[in-house]
């Protein structure tokens, strides 16, 4: 089961990082391959993006359900493939280090629910690492550029 975490230091205080991360409209467009997202209600949205897995390019549609906002430190969500057989969960954690620096942790755990899940998970694992790293770095850069 592919699960990846990426930690980055942000030159912004805990509150600024939290204010950015708690609103999915801020970071959904930063997902690599982003096409669009739509908010269905206060906790559920649909996201669409393209994934390039070498020879295979696929448009992924998923439902993102926000499970918990633990202000000012953690937002937790679940993922369900709408056009692909996978599900998972993720979170962002914000930890204040001092008055002007924070640590942000991005985490994704995704697994196949379709035919040949172990093979699909093996193909997904390196892409997942790249995805969470790029997303976490992009979120950090956007927070810092707003300063």
Domain assignment present for 61: no
Domain that holds residue 136: 3-31+68-145
Domain assignment present for 52: no
Domain assignment present for 41: no
Number of structural domains the chain divides into = 1
Two structure tokens written together for 75:
């937002």
Two structure tokens written together for 13:
């205080």
- Global pTM? 0.85
Could you tell me the CATH number of the domain that includes residue 77? 3.30.530.20
What is the pLDDT, as a whole number, of residue 44? 95
Domain assignment present for 38: no
Domain assignment present for 121: yes
Two structure tokens written together for 51:
């994934």
Q: Are 84 and 58 in contact (CB under 8 A)?
A: yes
Domain assignment present for 86: yes
State pLDDT tens for residues 85-116: 889 999 999 999 999 999 999 998 888 787 76
What is the pLDDT, as a whole number, of residue 70? 93
Contacts of 144 (CB under 8 A, 6+ apart): 10, 11, 12
Domain assignment present for 15: yes
Domain assignment present for 115: yes
What is the pLDDT, as a whole number, of residue 57? 80
d(CA 24, CA 75): 10
What is the pLDDT, as a whole number, of residue 112? 77
Residues of the chain with confidence (pLDDT) below 70: 1, 53-55, 116-117, 119-124, 147
What is the pLDDT, as a whole number, of residue 120? 63
């Amino acid at each position: 089961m592919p699960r990846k975490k990426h930690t980055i230091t942000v030159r912004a205080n805990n509150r600024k990082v939290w204010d950015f991360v708690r609103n999915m409209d801020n970071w959904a467009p930063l997902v690599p391959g982003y096409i669009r997202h739509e908010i269905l209600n206060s906790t559920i949205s649909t996201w669409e993006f393209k994934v390039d897995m070498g020879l295979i390019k696929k448009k992924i549609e998923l439902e993102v359900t926000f499970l918990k906002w633990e202000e000012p430190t953690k937002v937790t969500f679940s993922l369900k493939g709408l056009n692909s057989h996978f599900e998972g969960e993720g979170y962002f954690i914000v930890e204040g280090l001092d008055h002007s620096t924070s640590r942000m942790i991005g985490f994704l755990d995704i697994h196949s629910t379709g035919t040949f899940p172990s093979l699909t998970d093996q193909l997904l694992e390196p892409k997942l690492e790249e995805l969470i790293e790029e997303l976490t770095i992009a979120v950090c850069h956007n927070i810092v550029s707003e300063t």
